[in-house]
Amino acid sequence: MKPTVVRLTAVLLWLAATATLAATAGESPWFAAPYSGKKVKEYEITLPISRNQEETFLIPKDCKKLNSRLLEGAGHWGNAVQHRLWIKADDDCRYLNYLRQNPHKGDKDFVSSYDFMNARITDLPLRPGCDLYVLLRDPQACPPPLPGMPDFSLFMNDEHQAPVPPGSDEACRFEKGVFRGTIYPTPEGIVCHKDPGAPGYRILSVDYADVNGDGYLDAVLRMALIGSHGRPELLVLPLTRLSDKGPFSIPKGADYPRLGPTDEGWLY
């Protein structure tokens, strides 16, 4: 198989494995079965662990074993498609471990009543301590995006660099989990121009857990960049708030673990 075809196949497999996830509330997360993208609670995946040997993992039951094989270096075996499948299985295991790192569910719930699949972008704290308007006007004034979390400044366009096309504040929201378009900061506020052909983000699922153990329930959004030629990557945005009408914030101490296997121990 030609390298270009292998890369394209890997991307298509990853997209198929994420596109059908739906929002969930108060239950164990769904996963997308490799190749088919079917919503499942568990799936089998067979991966190469040496030049001539393969091993089958039941995810999430075998997440500890998968992590051990990655620590041993098994993840570098196989072709480009198999490398993507190693990453997918590791992402799924890492995500479940993240949700369950604190065994107690937060008893103060101010997040589950919000419709995240149709969220207003201005409601989402996309960098700690920096609202969207400041982020778009002067990205350097904000902290850098946290690893593994979305960065909406990718879609910003300064009105001094180009005329603002017809748009509205109402367009600055997700629709059924998808936002694609351009975000413009103006003196009157944020204006968005939606464009189905532009890059954007897809919310793959919404799960709930107390990820930092502070007693407040958190919403955890699994997201993916769409419409870009970059390497597909699973992104996670944890959100909390302290009252029904209060602003959303990124929970303190809720950094998402990234970048492959870990020797820090796995719960699942």
Q: What is the DSSP string of 37-78?
A: --EES-EEEEEESSSS-EEEEEETTTHHHHHHHHHTTGGG-S
Position 3, amino acid: P
Residue 199 lies in a domain: yes
Are residues 40 and 147 located together in one domain of the fold? no
Are residues 43 and 133 located together in one domain of the fold? no
Start-to-end Cα distance in the chain: 36
In three-state form (DSSP H/G/I as H, E/B as E, the rest C), the secondary structure along 47-58 is EECCCCCEEEEE
Range of the domain at 208: 116-239
Burial of 206 (0-12, 13-18, 19+ CB in 10 A): buried
Are residues 75 and 149 located together in one domain of the fold? no
Are residues 137 and 229 located together in one domain of the fold? yes
Half-sphere exposure of 159 (CA within 13 A, CB side): 17
Residue 107 lies in a domain: no
Burial of 52 (0-12, 13-18, 19+ CB in 10 A): exposed
Residue 253 lies in a domain: no
Are residues 129 and 216 located together in one domain of the fold? yes
pLDDT at 203: 93
Half-sphere exposure of 61 (CA within 13 A, CB side): 8
Are residues 73 and 180 located together in one domain of the fold? no
Are residues 121 and 95 located together in one domain of the fold? no
In three-state form (DSSP H/G/I as H, E/B as E, the rest C), the secondary structure along 98-113 is HHCCCCCCCCECCCCC
Position 23, amino acid: A
DSSP one-letter code for 237: E
What is the C-alpha R_g of the chain?
19
Closest CA to 242 of 233, 253, 251: 251
The domain total for the chain is: 2
Are residues 33 and 92 located together in one domain of the fold? yes
Residue 262 lies in a domain: no
Are residues 121 and 81 located together in one domain of the fold? no
Are residues 120 and 215 located together in one domain of the fold? yes
The CA distance from 180 to 22, in Å, is 18
pLDDT at 105: 76
Running along the chain, 268 residues long, what does each successive block of 10 average in pLDDT? Answer: 46 44 57 89 95 94 92 90 91 88 85 95 75 70 76 66 57 91 77 86 92 92 81 81 91 70 55
Residue 244 lies in a domain: no
pLDDT at 154: 72
Instruction: State which of 43, 66, 99 marks the end of a domain.
Output: 99
What's the token pair of residue 221?
């959004």
Residue 142 lies in a domain: yes
pLDDT at 183: 83
Are residues 152 and 209 located together in one domain of the fold? yes
Residue 157 lies in a domain: yes
Are residues 235 and 205 located together in one domain of the fold? yes
pLDDT at 11: 43
Residue 233 lies in a domain: yes
Half-sphere exposure of 2 (CA within 13 A, CB side): 3
Distances (CA, A) of 147 to 39, 209, 256: 27, 20, 7
The reply to whether the predicted model has a pTM over 0.85 is no
The CA distance from 244 to 8, in Å, is 44
